[in-house]
Chain A
């Protein structure tokens, strides 16, 4: 069975600082991994995904994530935080190798200080 753990339910950074949101997964099969962002009172927007191929994945809004199989990690980074990045971020993994069920981590709330 697949599962996802996000380390840190709240992360606070200063505007312009590096953003690092941590995600570790457990999976009995090669996983498909996703990062989603959710702004208040809105749905989920896909930031980026890893399925196969290049392990460094670039997404929207300047975010990127690196799949590290040896560390079972898929951490999300952004070199310079903007105030508009303040939101809830969810790491997710498909629950089966048919990719039909998405399981989410507990979420990390990113706060950006001026």
Chain B
């Protein structure tokens, strides 16, 4: 298995909702990442997990809460989001920085 699987592919949520994005990989990669991508822009790093521990938080607002339950799973919990948080959220994994594998993303719309 050489893929990163993200669910759901599309999500519409209200500003008072709580939802979660999920990411899964079975390549044995020990680093996992969340990126946010706005339209016509490059992906921006949000969080890095290394060996299931949060190693990087790029000053992301607390309404985004990452979780790494085990080495294969990465979640992003969403609460009280704003319309400007609407974006494509990409998950990625890597073993040693030599190669990153990206999922196909979750298209999030906050209404």
Contact = CB atoms under 8 A, between A and B. Distances in A.
A45 interface: yes
A94 B40 CA distance: 21
Contacts, number: 58
Interface in B28-71: 31, 33, 40-43, 45, 48, 50, 55-56
Contacts of A25: none
Contacts of B94: 99-100
Contact of A100 (B97, B102, B103): B97
Contacts of B45: 101-103
Contact of B41 (A36, A101, A107): A107
A67 interface: no
B107 interface: yes
A28 B101 CA distance: 25
B42 A107 contact: yes
Given A99-B94, A100-B50, A46 B42 contact: no
B68 to A, nearest CB: 15
A34 B33 CA distance: 17
Contacts of B31: 100
A107 B104 CA distance: 18
B104 A90 contact: no
B42 A90 contact: yes
Contacts of A42: 104-105
A3 B33 CA distance: 19
B100 to A, nearest CB: 6
A51 B97 CA distance: 9
Interface in A66-111: 90, 94, 98-107
B48 A100 contact: yes
B42 A104 contact: yes
Most buried by B among A43, A44, A49, A94: A43
A53 to B, nearest CB: 12
19 contacts: A32-B97, A34-B99, A42-B104, A43-B4, A43-B90, A44-B92, A51-B98, A90-B42, A94-B97, A99-B94, A99-B97, A100-B48, A101-B48, A102-B92, A103-B45, A104-B42, A106-B41, A106-B42, A107-B40
